[in-house]
Chain A
Amino acid sequence: QKEVEQNSGPLSVPEGAIASLNCTYSDRGSQSFFWYRQYSGKSPELIMSIYSNGDKEDGRFTAQLNKASQYVSLLIRDSQPSDSATYLCAVSLRGYQKVTFGIGTKLQVIP
């Protein structure tokens, strides 16, 4: 079982819709959770960090964490074509500086 699992996609949504990206993780000691956005040919860019159960909102982005079910999700409201990218989920254990990444979900926003 991979430590961090994501559906590789592609996930296609129409412009203006809500895109929902999901991630599960295997280690219950995980403490920190991150979402990165990566455009084709570019480096990953941190867009959200979440550390406690519940929702965290930043503009059109909402990260949701459920430690009991071991999943973390990212919602993108009012999706735009510029949101088309690969979204990487990443997880870190308590007390460790290493981060484990999922393979990423490719999102396509159709105009």
Chain B
Amino acid sequence: DAGITQSPRHKVTETGTPVTLRCHQTENHRYMYWYRQDPGHGLRLIHYSYGVKDTDKGEVSDGYSVSRSKTEDFLLTLESATSSQTSVYFCAISGLGGNNEQFFGPGTRLTVL
């Protein structure tokens, strides 16, 4: 168990509302990632962080922002949710094996109506 939790685990929201997903780790690892997983697309990187207040965009970052004010927490915010953001969101951490091995949280299923 890599010590990663995500909250909430399930959320249903309406188009246009802001949504924040939280990832929390107890491993004190430097790197944290947010992915979305959709049928036919696999896992796609949204944003990642390489330290406190250090973040960068992934391949599908439009419509998402992130923040990392503490080593253990990485927040993903949908400023104004759209139906195209309905997905399963996974947080991951790396640094355990020293070779880019990533370990995933349990996921958040988000539905935007």
Contact at B42–A46, with CB atoms within 8 Å?
no
CB contacts (< 8 Å) of B48 on chain A: these are 97-98
Distance of B91 from chain A, by nearest CB (Å): 9
Interface residues on A, range: 20 to 34
Taken residue by residue from 34 to 60, chain A's Cβ proximity to chain B (1 for < 8 Å, 0 otherwise) reads as 100000001111100101000000000
- Is chain B's binding surface mostly helix, strand, loop or mixed? strand
Contact at A49–B101, with CB atoms within 8 Å?
yes
Among B41, B45, B99, the residue within 8 A (CB) of A98 is B45
Among A46, A51, A102, the residue within 8 A (CB) of B102 is A46
Contact at A43–B90, with CB atoms within 8 Å?
yes
Among B33, B42, B100, B102, the residue within 8 A (CB) of A103 is B42
Within 8 A of B (CB), among A68-111: 88, 90, 92, 96-99, 101-104
Interface residues on B, range: 20 to 34
Contact at A49–B102, with CB atoms within 8 Å?
no
**A22 CB within 8 Å of chain B:** no
Among A43, A49, A96, A103, the residue within 8 A (CB) of B106 is A43
Distance of B45 from chain A, by nearest CB (Å): 6
**A62 CB within 8 Å of chain B:** no
Among A43, A49, A97, A103, the residue within 8 A (CB) of B50 is A97
